[in-house]
């Protein structure tokens, strides 16, 4: 598999955001949490242990 774990986690988070979609009527805690995790993922190095934690949280193989 040529994709790095970080790339697979990023794809999963982006897919999750697209599938959930924002609800303009309320603050969606889940949406905010996924967006926060994506922001954190984008800020860490490719070998950061946090990537494995996020992969486990979002069930990324």
pLDDT at 27: 65
* Torsion angles phi and psi, residue 7, rounded to 5: -65, -40
Give the pLDDT score at 1: 46
The pLDDT assigned to 6 comes to 96
What distance in Å separates the CA atoms of residue 15 and residue 22, rounded to the nearest whole number? Answer: 13
Each residue's pLDDT tens digit, 4-55 = 999 999 999 999 988 877 665 556 777 889 999 999 999 999 999 999 999 9
pLDDT of residue 22: 64
Instruction: Give pLDDT, residue 23.
Output: 63
């Amino acid at each position: 598999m040529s994709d790095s774990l970080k790339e697979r986690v990023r794809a999963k988070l982006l897919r999750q955001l697209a599938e959930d979609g924002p609800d303009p009527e309320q603050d969606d805690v889940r949406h905010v949490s996924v967006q926060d995790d994506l922001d954190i993922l984008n800020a860490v190095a490719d070998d950061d242990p946090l990537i494995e934690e996020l992969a486990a949280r979002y069930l990324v193989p």
